[in-house]
Amino acid sequence: MTPTTFETEQTYGLRKSLSRAIPYILLTISILPIIIGYAWIFIATFSVRTEGLIPKDAHGNIGGLTLQNWSFLHNPEVWNATLNSFGIAVGMVVGVGFLSSLTGYALARMNFAGRKGFLGTTLLLHAFRPEMLLIAIFQVLLFIGGIPLIGDWVGFNTVGGVALVMITLDLPLGVWLMKGFFDNLSWDMERAALIDGASRFRVWWEIILPQIKPGLAALSIFTFITGWNAYLIPFTFTIGSKVANLPVLLNRFSGDTSLGSWNEVAALGLFQLVPILVFFIFTQEALLNIYGGGSKGGA
């Protein structure tokens, strides 16, 4: 490309590379708080104490790297919370994946009375934010908790109840995503199978589901992260440490811990971050797609 101004080649080149550099500089500045936040978590986890970002040992000198902050791994309460977190996350992956691919299939491929109404409701709920409903869901869960047998599993103050509420609140998104995947699927195989006399359920299970594995995987990553990170709903619908999940435990722990020993808080935080970072490193492309196109209200 030839210069259009009367500058010399050299100054033009300089100016151009400078203007090329500006976006990089601005973007690097913008991500600094995120980087620093994460840096603190890592530094604090492995040091006796931190002042700002600087690790210090007991005498106030720089250094003092240690693994003692991980002693919480001996605490059964932490493992119980981990199990609860994992239960909620896996419950969400299975529940949302299964239910929304069932419903998404019906909406994409079947013609039945009330289909338009179901689709409209899905869309409306998809745009709607359910946080305020927690007040009423509280009463619903209390009610369910009174039912014999069922109540012990999915009532108020149970992991099952928390998972069920979280599954339901994510269903409109899941159904909408799944319907999109089914819509883009060729239907020749399915049609052939139906003509050969296979039932709808068998077609769905044996022919359709294997074809949308990538979509299901993306939805699973999204729901796992949602379930693993969940704070508000577990916090609202559980009491006591038996049913607390990791975020609830961490929040209580950070409130009880003096500022000087927040290194243990950081360690527990990093412990909770592990699965998230694994997803972050290995499924980057999928993550950006999910939170852009697939996220709530994504056009």
Partner 1 sequence: MSFTKSPEDNNPVKIPGQTVNFIIAIVGGLLGIVAFFLPWIGFSSGGGLLGSLSGLKIGAGPVVALSKGAVIFRGTPTSYLVPIAGMVTLLVVFLAYRRKIIVEKDGFWLIALGALPLLVLLGQFGEAQRDAAKVGVDIHYLSGLIATFLALLLIILSGTLTTAALARQKPSFRNTLGAYGFMSPTSLLVIIFFLIPVVLLFILSLTNLSSANFGDPWTFIGLGNYRRMFSDKFFPKILRNTVFYVVMTLAFFNVGLALALALLTSHINRRSSFFFRLIWLLPRITPSVVYIVMWKRFTQVPPYGIINQFLGWAGIQHQPYWLNETPWLFVILVNGFVGASFGMIIFTSAIEAIPKDFIIAAKVDGASSWQIIKDITLPLLRWPLLFVTTYQTLSLLVSFEYILLLTEGGPGLFTTEVWSLTAYKRALFTYFGSNQWAYGAAWGFVLVVIGAILSFIYLRVFRFDDLVQEPKIDVL
* 264 binding partner 1? (CB under 8 A): no
Min CB(142)–partner 1 separation in Å? 9
Q: Rg of the Cα trace of the chain? A: 25
Residue 90 vs 134, nearer CB to partner 1:
134
Interface pick for partner 1 out of 12, 66, 130, 153 (rule CB under 8 A): 130
Interface pick for partner 1 out of 2, 17, 31, 210 (rule CB under 8 A): 31
Interface pick for partner 1 out of 78, 107, 177, 219 (rule CB under 8 A): 107
* 103 binding partner 1? (CB under 8 A): yes
Interface pick for partner 1 out of 159, 212, 266, 267 (rule CB under 8 A): 266
Interactions with partner 1, residue window 57-96 (CB under 8 A): none
* 106 binding partner 1? (CB under 8 A): yes
Return the amino acid letter for 257.
Answer: T
Rounded Cα distance between 222 and 167, Å, is 12
Min CB(186)–partner 1 separation in Å? 9
Tell me the window of 8-16, 66-74, 139-147, 209-217 that interacts with partner 1 (CB under 8 A).
Answer: 139-147
293 CA to centre of own chain: 15
* 282 binding partner 1? (CB under 8 A): no
Interactions with partner 1, residue window 192-211 (CB under 8 A): 194-195, 199-201, 204
Interactions with partner 1, residue window 152-171 (CB under 8 A): 164-165, 167-169, 171
Interactions with partner 1, residue window 108-127 (CB under 8 A): 108-116, 118-121, 123-125, 127
Residue 33 vs 210, nearer CB to partner 1:
33
* 223 binding partner 1? (CB under 8 A): no
